[in-house]
């Protein structure tokens, strides 16, 4: 199966409900060859969104910019940049934008298989998580995983230093959003420029690598199914 990459700005933005605060770009889904995961870039305008019903789906959210609150049931949790959040299958949620600017969120949904509502908090902050190694000289931090009851998918933020890793593959299906930095995606024999807002689908066993061509760190958001470790490899070869 071939991979896929698109710049978020090149995807048509829709307003599902004129009375809602949401503006949505569906960046990756079945039409792009990704059958289990759907990635959306959502901008919540100031105010309170309409209630979103998940049905049989579960969702993980990541805040790129802006501040607000996530309401699920009777609970309210703060949303801020570098925070991930989990909403289980069967739940519904409301997002409140407490600022004057858009609240920019990357939303990924997947079928709920072993999804259970969180017993405690459902929002996880990047600075509260341990930095873990991923070869070569890369690191990542889990956001949403089994710690909050999400047993089917894993959400993480990875840091990629300048340079290029060897081509490698994973056993899981993954969607990626570039948060910051610039570089090249090496995939399916092609090298595609990527930067903040690039959206990527990496199918299972598809060899790829992300090359950081900038002077500083590249930061990426990854969500994959089934759950596991971003450091795992199905194969790894020379650069």
Tokens linked to 46: 């100031």
Alpha carbon separation from 220 to 48, 63, 120, 141, 197 (Å, rounded): 28, 13, 27, 11, 10
CA distance 18 to 228: 39
What the chain holds in terms of domains, given with CATH numbers, is 12-113 (2.60.120.10), 127-232 (2.60.120.10)
Tokens linked to 47: 């105010």
- 170 touches 239 (CB < 8 A): no
| pTM metric for this prediction | 0.96
pLDDT the model gives residue 128: 95
Nearest Cα to Cα of residue 144 among 113, 117, 177, 111: 117
Nearest Cα to Cα of residue 91 among 105, 101, 104, 77: 77
pLDDT the model gives residue 236: 63
pLDDT the model gives residue 163: 94
CA distance 161 to 198: 18
Task: Residue 235: count other Cβ atoms within 10 Å of its Cβ.
Answer: 12
- The alpha carbon of 8 is separated from its chain's Cα centroid by a whole number of angstroms, namely 13
Tokens linked to 201: 């689908």
CA distance 130 to 143: 10
Tokens 């090496």 correspond to what residue? 186
pLDDT the model gives residue 227: 94
Question: For each of the chain's 239 residues, which pLDDT tens digit applies?
Answer: 789 999 999 999 999 898 999 999 999 999 999 999 999 999 999 999 999 999 999 999 999 999 999 999 989 999 999 999 999 999 999 999 989 999 999 999 999 999 899 988 899 999 999 999 987 788 999 999 999 999 999 999 999 999 998 898 999 999 999 999 999 999 999 999 999 999 999 999 999 999 999 999 999 999 999 999 998 877 666 55
pLDDT the model gives residue 165: 83
226 upstream amide cis, omega within 30 of 0: yes
Phi, psi angle pair for 128, to nearest 5°: -95, -5
- 32 touches 201 (CB < 8 A): yes
CA distance 224 to 166: 20
């Amino acid at each position: 199966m071939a991979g896929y990459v698109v710049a978020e700005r090149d995807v048509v933005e829709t307003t599902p409900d004129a009375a809602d605060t949401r503006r949505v770009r569906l960046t990756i889904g079945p039409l792009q060859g990704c059958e289990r995961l759907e990635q959306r870039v959502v901008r919540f305008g100031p105010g309170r969104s309409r209630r979103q019903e998940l049905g049989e789906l579960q969702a993980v959210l990541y805040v790129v910019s802006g501040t607000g609150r996530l309401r699920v049931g009777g609970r309210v949790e703060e949303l801020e940049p570098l925070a991930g959040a989990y909403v289980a299958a069967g739940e519904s949620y409301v997002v409140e934008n407490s600022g004057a600017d858009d609240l920019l969120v990357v939303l990924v949904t997947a079928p709920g298989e072993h999804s259970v509502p969180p017993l405690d908090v459902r929002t996880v902050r990047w600075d509260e998580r341990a930095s873990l190694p991923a070869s070569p000289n890369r690191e990542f931090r889990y956001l949403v995983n089994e710690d909050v009851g999400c047993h089917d998918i894993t959400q993480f933020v990875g840091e990629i230093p300048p340079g290029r890793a060897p081509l490698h593959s994973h056993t899981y299906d993954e969607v990626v959003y570039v948060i910051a930095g610039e570089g090249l995606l090496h995939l399916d024999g092609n090298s595609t420029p990527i930067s903040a807002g690039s959206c990527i689908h990496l199918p299972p066993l598809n060899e790829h690598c992300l090359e950081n061509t900038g002077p500083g760190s590249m930061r990426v958001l990854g969500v994959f199914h089934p759950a596991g470790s971003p450091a795992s490899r199905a194969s790894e070869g020379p650069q």
